[in-house]
Structure 1
Amino acid sequence: MSTKQKRFIPADGLAGLKQNFTKDALSGFLVFLLAMPLSLGIAKASGFPMIFGLVTAIVGGVVVSFIMGSRLSIKGPAAGLIVIASGSVIAMGDGEIGWHLALGVVVVASLLQILFGVFKLGKLADFFPSAAIHGMLAAIGIIIMTKQLHLVLGINPSELKGKEPLELLGMLPSSIMHENAHLAEIGLACLLIMILMSFVKHEKIKKIPAPLIVLAVAIPLGFALHIKTDGEIAGFALVKIGSISEAFKNGLINVDFSGITTHTGIFIQYVILYSLIGSLESLLTAKAVDGMDPFKRKTDYDKDLIGVGIGNTICGILGGLPMISEVARSSANIGYGARTRWANFFHGLFLLIAVLVGVQFIEMIPNVALAAMLIFVGFRLAHPKQILHTLYIGREQLIVFLVTILITISTDLLMGVGSGILLELIINLVNGASLKNTFKTNITLVEEGENYTLNVKDDLVFSNLLGFKKKFQAIPQGKYITINVSEANIVDHSSIVTMNGLVEEYKDGGGKVLVLGFENHRQLSKDPTSTRILKLS
């Protein structure tokens, strides 16, 4: 590959549309095939009218593409917010009333999200320890599966209303005994397809969206088994979204803000959850997408938060779910060869066309097919490999990971994440961190011509990491940096992961970085990112 090819960066804006039309349009179409059933399933699982899952994805593509800070991320509803969305609807009264009131929460949280970006708080994603974040995502995956496992067997959704995750797990043997044979056959076949497609290695076959194959099998099976005319299941067997005109029969505004006064405590709780967890998930995805971008472009995280916040404000007013930068669709977008933000736009445009002219086809989809897709998404979030990987990083990280999962499942997301953060703080204190340095770094920056030295003393842990990051990012590009940690009492896992990312990014920009002093520390595990503690002299 020539030097010129290596340096090629796709144009943005209208020039990018003209330059990359074929690649972005094709990728947008393939992502649309992936996004349509997932958006429907996420909306259904969240307690929102199903068509509004598509509305969110349409806004995320057609509107947010022009204001987002990333180039290749796909904006839309995400499985990671199902627990918060469904919880807010139920807490606000359930059904249509709960949905309208939950939209008020979405709008207020979205305005906060915009403020996060305006005040450049995208960097706060680094405050959350890695084990707590992964524990939160795993807990979300488990909660998703606890309900969808019943639905994939053809159990009537009305039998599951108001049940907590642990109750749903206890009900599973009964659901297996009382499955609906025809629906379970379709659902389990769809789940098997999702699993088998995850093992496919052939490059061309891998490019076929697994949900597309699921629909190609589920719809004919539904006709063959006559589920539409089966009196016992006809009411819930197939997707029912209605037309776009029905969705907005009372006008374009569906939001109701009266929950601010009638459910004040609940309203505040879910505003916090939507704004913090939604922003965090979106930022983490944007960072992951940057790592996959073949052109090494970097997301403007604050601008991206503003874009997502504006999109969420529009969705909340219209009736849609909150959106984030969604990781599965974004990684698929890159795999399909997308080059610019226009791929996200095209994915939204194709969804809009489907809503306008393809409702009859959409309503042929069995609900068990959507449940199968969500089970697979939930399993990926809570994959057993996460436990082994976390254990390899360090036993203390596994404790934080598992405690976050258990408390999230037994209480809620806010308590779960909060407990993970608190436990990580306690573990760092036990491992030698100083209480006075919990949120304060002791770092000096020495400049000598082209050489910069960052001397890290005392503690470098997730809770004071922002000070280190600020000093590092203030160094001009193309210099020679030495990071000296020889006098640091403790450098925790989250700090090492972030430091590695900063180093790689700086090297990509033409600079050089040398890290010194870790030979003075002992590792808590063999993993290169494990916590380091200063050896006693």
Structure 2
Amino acid sequence: MDKPDQSAGVPTGAPSIRNDLVAGFLVFLIALPLCLGIAMASGFPPVAGIITAVIGGVVATWIGSAALTIKGPAAGLIVIALGAVTELGSGNGSVGYRRALATIVVAAVLQIGFALARAGALGDFFPSSVVHGMLAAIGIIICSKQIHVALGVTPEAKEPLHLLFEIPRSVGRLNPEIAIIGGVSLAILFAFPVLAKRFSFLKKIPAPLFVLAVAVPLAHAFDLEHEHTYTFSINHHDYKIGPNFLVNLPGNVLAAVTTPDFSAVLSGTSLKYIVMFALVGSIESLLSAKAVDALDPEKRRSDLDKDLLATGVGNLVAGLIGGLPMISEIVRSSANIGYGARSRLSNFFHGLFLLLFVAFLPGLIHRIPLAALAAMLIYTGTRLASLHEFVKTFRIGREQLLVFVSTTIVTIATDLLVGVAAGIVIKMVVHVVNGAPIKSLFRPDIEERSVGERVVLRIRHAAVFSNYLSIKGRLAKHEAKHVVVDFDHARLVDHTVMEKLHELRGEFERSGRTLELIGLDRHRSLSEHPLAARRKAALERAGSTP
């Protein structure tokens, strides 16, 4: 059997292509309902999500180097996209949609600029507690909006906190038949992982496919295709249902193409969303690509700058014809690997299947109930904001939980940029309180010493997330077989640096080299976690500083 070309990520053997074809088809089954749901939750037409996934598969595949990532719309950008449509349209969804497309196009140009400037290292700058706090906030915001859709109720509130407070009222006003579809769909999604452990054959079947297999017949049984009123026997109340509870797609794919409106692209609101799309989209995509690399059975390493270029080009094309922004999406990418994908062709096939389905079978998509899509998004939101994430962060360190929760709360109360900025500021304040000199937060003091095949980097004052890129840059300069990082003169080594160096040590080992961390014996760990932050006591710092 021919072996795949690992450098290009494109297989040369027929068996590999067959694996990618099967994986691409199974991921297509997952992507179809998720793309529709993400688009509708973002205030975009449902087909916009399909457009993005098609471009992510058919176009971006050949530009990026990330072999097993699936590119498409992501739940993590819902909050930004919906905010752009709402604020730029001032109540007019059509106008807001086209102006939001303009911000996506400009943000895509920025992403291409990031890639050409080799800014793929951005993925290593942001501390994990801030990123996870941001994602938890996004999960809560998604749930606050989609629970009402799953219940068949239109809420009066618009802001996330008010939407959360309105959930009890919506439960009391729920539309029974729509709520049945949403509730059954949600039950399937939560029960599926448990059932898959007991019945191994289920592991090869996408959970969203089971949801559709139940939800579509229920929608037909409730006759959602025709507007009518029914009386619920328990409370003898009349309820209206009809096609507005189903996905609405244009009959012709070309009719879905929408061009951006650049008339307000220089406004303050547009500039805010341009920065959000470019920054948050790039960070999410880079982090996802790195996570997928860690799952790759062949342990290939992606060129993150090239992958960011693919994301930027894909977003440019998507924005110009009416699509959502795309990223390297972690859930679909993980499924792609689980289904046996071998190369980037699986992403191409997933996009091709979506294109063929929308082109030739749009009527089937129209039968999908919105409540089922809302259930899928609620499930995604609960995973982003699960209690497990809070517990996991607490175990790493109390200071990590402080940053995590602060980022989450500020993001929900304001917006993503403010939330991320607040998390970073709080993180820096924590570092200063723990002994890091302000002058060392961005510029580490590093002393180098080389002896043959051994290089020692002695870091003074502090090694923290905000100066890690400089530390990594110094490490990248050396090709010695044995590299040592000495923290004996560092007052503080934060969790982000410990985590990143742990990942880097694995990369060294795979290339036949060693990365050794020394000088932490006199540091006190801030928790029992092996990668927790380390801090020196005041007396120890005074005694160790030359």
Which of the five TM-score ranges fits, normalised by the shorter chain? over 0.9
- Matched residues in 1 for 2:243 and 2:201: separation? 39
- Matched residues in 2 for 1:170 and 1:394: separation? 31
| Residue 485 (structure 2) aligned to one of 483, 486, 495 | 483
Q: 2:251 is matched with which residue?
A: 243
- Matched residues in 2 for 1:82 and 1:471: separation? 38
Contact preservation (8 Å) 1:481, 1:514: yes
* Structure-to-structure mapping, 1:20-419, within 5 angstroms: 20-93=16-89, 94-156=92-154, 159-160=155-156, 163-199=158-194, 200-201=196-197, 202-231=199-228, 232-245=240-253, 247-248=255-256, 252=257, 254-261=259-266, 264-419=267-422
Contact preservation (8 Å) 1:17, 1:342: no
- Matched residues in 2 for 1:12 and 1:260: separation? 37
- Shift in CA distance, 194/239, structure 1 to aligned 2, threshold 3 Å: same
AA aligned to 2:67 is: R
Q: 1:464 is matched with which residue?
A: 467
Greater Cα offset, 230-239 or 480-489? 230-239
Q: State the Cα deviation string for residues 513-536 of structure 1 (Å, max 9, x = none).
A: 221111110011101111100233
- Matched residues in 2 for 1:70 and 1:185: separation? 41
Unaligned runs of 5+ in 2: 229-239, 541-546
> Deviation at 1:329?
0.1
- Matched residues in 2 for 1:66 and 1:17: separation? 18
Contact preservation (8 Å) 2:447, 2:457: yes
AA aligned to 2:265 is: I
Q: State the Cα deviation string for residues 309-362 of structure 1 (Å, max 9, x = none).
A: 000000000010000000100000000000100000000000000011110111
> Deviation at 1:129?
1.3
How does the TM-score come out when normalised to structure 1? 0.95
TM-align CA RMSD: 1.7
Contact preservation (8 Å) 1:24, 1:346: yes
SS in 2 for 1:513: strand
Q: How many residues get paired?
A: 524
SS in 2 for 1:354: helix
- Matched residues in 2 for 1:320 and 1:516: separation? 50
How does the TM-score come out when normalised to structure 2? 0.93
Q: Which consecutive segments of 4 or more residues in structure 1 shift more than 6 A?
A: none
AA aligned to 1:510 is: G
AA aligned to 2:252 is: I
- Matched residues in 2 for 1:13 and 1:340: separation? 5
Contact preservation (8 Å) 1:238, 1:366: yes
- Matched residues in 1 for 2:187 and 2:249: separation? 26
> Deviation at 1:512?
1.6
> Deviation at 1:204?
2.7
SS in 1 for 2:136: helix
> Deviation at 1:17?
6.6
> Deviation at 1:136?
0.1
> Deviation at 1:483?
1.6
AA aligned to 2:76 is: G
> Deviation at 1:10?
4.8
SS in 2 for 1:500: helix
> Deviation at 1:69?
2.1
Greater Cα offset, 403-412 or 235-244? 235-244
Contact preservation (8 Å) 1:8, 1:295: no
- Matched residues in 2 for 1:245 and 1:148: separation? 27
Contact preservation (8 Å) 1:441, 1:459: yes
- Shift in CA distance, 246/467, structure 1 to aligned 2, threshold 3 Å: closer
> Deviation at 1:451?
1.1
Greater Cα offset, 30-39 or 455-464? 455-464
AA aligned to 2:118 is: K
SS in 2 for 1:518: coil
Greater Cα offset, 77-86 or 167-176? 167-176
- Matched residues in 2 for 1:447 and 1:253: separation? 59
- Matched residues in 2 for 1:20 and 1:391: separation? 43
Q: State the Cα deviation string for residues 407-448 of structure 1 (Å, max 9, x = none).
A: 111111111000000000000000000011111011122221
Contact preservation (8 Å) 1:227, 1:234: yes
Q: 1:500 is matched with which residue?
A: 502
- Matched residues in 2 for 1:197 and 1:271: separation? 38
- Matched residues in 1 for 2:526 and 2:390: separation? 17
Greater Cα offset, 224-233 or 423-432? 224-233
Contact preservation (8 Å) 2:11, 2:342: no
> Deviation at 1:253?
5.2
SS in 1 for 2:166: helix
Contact preservation (8 Å) 1:445, 1:471: no
- Shift in CA distance, 14/385, structure 1 to aligned 2, threshold 3 Å: closer
Q: 2:231 is matched with which residue?
A: none
Unaligned runs of 5+ in 1: none
